[in-house]
């Protein structure tokens, strides 16, 4: 997936302004917006889901960009926020934070008989650290 940074000197819409692809596909591919949100954005601005990138003006692209930045955020910002939240879990030593530290399943999955891959990775790391000490 391609992620655009909007701080570049060239206008961002030149990357897909001449694209012959449908608008939801462009939003999904370049703006990291899911297909459902892409169709909602198209209906919000009054565009058909079959609208091509060639048919939109620069003003339309700027409006779409501002709408996505204000309402949904970009992928890099949401990823940073997710990492920050995981660090908070680790700092307060919650159950979720401990599962992140120990590389165990976080969302309530069963670990007695499942998650063997993650458990084996953890055990192999312990064995390696034991071998290094001796």
Every domain of the chain and the residues it spans: 12-73, 76-133
Q: Which CATH superfamily is domain 76-133 in?
A: Ribosomal protein S13/S18, C-terminal domain (4.10.910.10)
| Residue 73 structure tokens | 């955020």
- In CATH terms, 12-73 corresponds, of 3.40.190.10, 3.40.50.11540, 1.10.8.50, 2.40.50.140, to 1.10.8.50
Which of helix, strand or coil describes residue 56?
coil
Q: Which residues make Cβ contacts (< 8 Å) with residue 56, sequence separation at least 6?
A: 17, 23, 47, 64
Q: Which of 37, 128, 21 lies closest to 78 in space, CA to CA?
A: 37
Q: Which pLDDT does position 133 carry in this prediction? A: 55
How far is 80 from 86, CA to CA, in rounded Å? 10
| Residue 23 structure tokens | 């608008």
14-72 pLDDT per residue, tens: 666 667 889 998 888 877 788 999 999 999 999 999 999 888 888 898 898 889 888 88
Q: What is the DSSP letter of 49?
A: T
- Per CATH, 12-73 and 76-133 having the same topology is answered no
59-70 pLDDT per residue, tens: 898 898 889 888
Q: Which pLDDT does position 30 carry in this prediction? A: 77
Q: Which pLDDT does position 18 carry in this prediction? A: 67
């Amino acid at each position: 997936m391609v992620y655009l940074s909007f701080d570049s000197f060239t206008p961002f819409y030149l990357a897909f302004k001449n694209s012959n692809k449908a608008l939801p596909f462009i939003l999904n591919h370049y703006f990291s917006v899911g297909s459902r949100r892409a169709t909602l954005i198209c209906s919000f601005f009054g565009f058909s889901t079959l609208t091509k990138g060639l048919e939109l003006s620069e003003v339309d692209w700027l409006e779409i960009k501002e709408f996505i930045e204000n309402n949904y955020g970009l992928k890099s910002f949401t990823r940073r926020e997710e990492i920050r939240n995981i660090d908070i879990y680790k700092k307060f030593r919650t159950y979720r934070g401990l599962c992140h530290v120990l590389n165990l399943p976080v969302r309530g999955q069963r670990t007695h008989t499942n998650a063997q891959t993650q458990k084996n990775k953890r055990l192999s790391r312990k064995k390696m650290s034991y071998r290094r000490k001796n």
